[in-house]
Chains A and B, each alone.
Chain A
């Protein structure tokens, strides 16, 4: 009797507070980290009404349906705010993590996965072990279905190995990979001293690495405020300027477009957005230069990464400030939003190679 060959797939999942990014040999992408539980009736209605829309994603797990991603903000506004709890034991966390694995495996139904993911720097030591156990799911496969674009993708995914990393390590691995492809020597790279500032939605993680190894020590690696603070500042400035009330999602949109919809008309709020960026960029640079004062001369390279850097205006402001305040011409990956997920995928691929 022939046995069906088992697919083994290396996957990187960056379970960000703003967006969940996934990366594999098959597919890479992201979904907004929004989850709304829906009834079966509502789920079937949404599936039927959105057969041509890949952005409408539902997941069925343990006979419960959940709508995930950006469409939540549109049709389930009560669930439109990101869950900022740093623990990794909530149902939302589980749903988004499973969805990341499911989406990364495309239309493959059954597979064994090697999954790498990250934790914010300040949470790493505290949560690493329990998060690892949770992802391994006692060796049992995750059985669920993803509904998207008029199709149902049944899944049975078993995590056979997982690696939990300090969040910015993904970027370090991605950057080392890039430098190797540009001809730099591994012996040089493995002793290169990188400072990485990973600005996400809820946390900014700052770490120092020598090659791929983190430098340990008191106050060397730390976590501070992130995009959510920029949103709060912009919200206040925009609401004051236009005498309105805006949701988190509307403000996030304004940060990208520089416009805000007021009583049906689009208004220019680029000045408020700029002020919010400048104010928080100054605080961030001030905090980093202060905490890393004694290390600033020791780095070979300073890297800015994370989903927040995908906003070019903020990235430019931050880069200019770093240069002005501490003399560093920082490196920004071309795809900062995906740098960690890609690096996590490379870590998984290296584990798979060595199994």
Chain B
């Protein structure tokens, strides 16, 4: 069993640097393609923070970098040129949001649950009194719909 690389999960730290400047979805597509092309991606242990750190000290404008690549590198057939178009977008302004009620922590446990003493601390025997314990079932509706 091998872990599949989740490229989408790995490049998030880069957004630290660029999320305010670019449309995120376009940027996501671009950086994913870029990183697929990046040789070291074959190494499943690559951490893309390394990549971010690699380019961060340089005075690189990401658009210039894209331009450099698109003008000088040959497109692979799998790479869709449309997907590397990046559009600027306004950054998210802090928004005043009214605070709602002071929500309490929710306890989802069945009332009649009791623990059993084994090392799997999370496993518990439950009450069979399903309807009495759970008012949502007293509504009599099919919750799947």
Contacts and interface: CB of A to CB of B under 8 A. Distances in A.
Contacts of A30: 122-123
14 contacts: A24-B126, A27-B124, A53-B119, A81-B3, A82-B3, A174-B106, A178-B107, A297-B98, A300-B100, A329-B102, A334-B106, A334-B108, A347-B143, A350-B142
A320 interface: no
Given A283-B16, A301-B101, A325-B94, 12 more contacts: A27-B124, A36-B1, A92-B1, A225-B9, A287-B24, A289-B92, A328-B99, A329-B99, A329-B103, A333-B105, A349-B134, A354-B142
Contacts of B135: 177, 180-181
Contacts of B103: 301, 329-331
Contacts of A339: 106, 108
Greatest chain A CB density within 10 A among B3, B4, B50, B140 is at B3
Contacts of A331: 103-106
Interface string B102-137: 111111110001000011101111111011001111
A290 to B, nearest CB: 5
Interface residues of B, number: 57
B82 to A, nearest CB: 19
Tell me the interface secondary structure of chain A in the complex.
Answer: mixed
Interface of B: 1-4, 6, 8-10, 12-13, 15-16, 19, 24, 47, 49-50, 92, 94-109, 113, 118-120, 122-128, 130-131, 134-137, 139-144
Interface of A: 10, 23-30, 35-36, 53-55, 79, 81-85, 92, 103, 106, 116, 149, 163, 165, 173-181, 186, 202, 212, 225-226, 228-229, 232-233, 235-236, 279-280, 282-283, 286-287, 289-290, 293, 296-297, 299-301, 325-335, 337-339, 342, 346-347, 349-351, 353-354
Greatest chain A CB density within 10 A among B2, B24, B120, B127 is at B120
A233 B98 contact: no
Given A228-B9, A283-B12, A83 B141 contact: no
Given A178-B106, A296-B97, A283 B120 contact: no
B124 A29 contact: yes
B19 A346 contact: no
A235 B47 contact: yes
Nearest to A186: B139
